[in-house]
Structure 1
Amino acid sequence: MTETPSENESAETERSWEESTANSNELDSGQTVSGPTEDGSTESERIDLNEARQIVIDAADQLLDHQVEDVIKIESNDAGWRVVLEVLEREAVPDTQDILGRYVFSVGTKGNVSGYELSDRYRRDELKEEF
C-alpha cells in the first residue's frame, strides 16, 4: 500500500520549491540576473553596436538603389537600435551638387530590421544639423 503525502507535507514541498526558484535568480554576490527585454531576448542575446551598424549597411545595400556614404548616428533603445545613414542618391558635377538622403533604420535586439524611412534629402553643400 502506498502512502499519499498529507496536505501539510504537500504545502511544505511547494513552499520549498517556490523558495528555491526565487533564489535561483540571485547570484552568489547577491545581484539579480537581468530578465528578458521587451522582445523576449536576454542581454547576452542582444546585438552590439558594431553588429547593428553592419546589419543596417547590408540591409541598405539590398533595399536601396544607392551607395551608402556614411553612418551618421547609432543609438540604443528598448526595442533595439536606431541607425541613421547618409546615402548618395544622385551624383553630380561638381560633387557639391550631389543629392544625399538620410535614412533612419530600426533594428531589433536580435538583429532584425523592422523598418526604415527617408528622413531628409539635400545637396551635399547644404549644412545640416546633426540630430
Structure 2
Amino acid sequence: MSNTKNTSQSQAARPHDRQHHDSHDSKDGNVADDRPSPMEVLRNARGQLEELTGMAAESVSSFEQTEDGWSLEVEVLELERVPDTMSLMASYQVELDGAGQLTGYRRVRRYERGRADAHRPGGR
C-alpha cells in the first residue's frame, strides 16, 4: 500500500513523466525522445525495403527528417548483369513514420550502374 502512495507522490512531483512513463530525464531536465536514432532509421529502412521488394538496397543517397517522420532515397540493385557496370539500378523514395516504420515507397528512376546523371551543374 505504501508503495502505491509513494508512486503517486513521485508522479505528482513530476507531472511531465505521466505521458512518458518509460522515458528518462535528460541532463537539461527534458524528457528523452523515444524516436530512433538516424542510424537506426537508415538500417531499418534498408531492411524493410529489401524485405518488401526482394531487392538488395546498396546505399542511401538522400536522408532527411520530416514533420511526420523520415524521408530517404535508397539505391537498389534491380537486375544484375555482366559486366557489373551494365547492372540495372533504381532509386526509391522511402517514407517512414516517426518510429522508423516504413509507410510507403516508390521508384523514382532507373539507370545503368555505369551511367552518370545527364544533369550538369550550371545548366550547360
TM-score category (smaller protein): 0.5 to 0.7
Which residue identity is paired with 2:47? Answer: D
**Which of the residues 77, 102, 116 maps onto 1:113?**
102
Identity of aligned residues (%): 26
Matched, 1:85 2:74: yes
2: CA distance, partners of 1:73 / 1:86: 9
Q: State the partner residue of 1:71.
A: 60
Aligned length: 94
- List alignment gaps of at least 5 residues for structure 1: 1-23, 26-30, 35-42
1:26-76 superposed Cα distances (whole Å, 9 cap, x missing partner)? xxxxx9x69xxxxxxxx7022221111011111012111211111111111
- List alignment gaps of at least 5 residues for structure 2: 1-14, 17-27, 120-124
TM-score (ref. length: structure 1): 0.63
Q: Helix, strand or coil for the counterpart of 1:44? A: coil
Structure 1 segments, 4+ long, off by >6 Å, are: none
Q: CA RMSD in A?
A: 2.3
Q: Which structure has the greater CA radius of gyration?
A: 1
Which residue identity is paired with 2:101? Answer: N
TM-score (ref. length: structure 2): 0.66
1: CA distance, partners of 2:96 / 2:54: 20
**Which of the residues 90, 94, 98 maps onto 2:83?**
94
TM-superposed CA distance for 1:118, in Å, is 0.5
1:84-107 superposed Cα distances (whole Å, 9 cap, x missing partner)? 110111111111111001111111
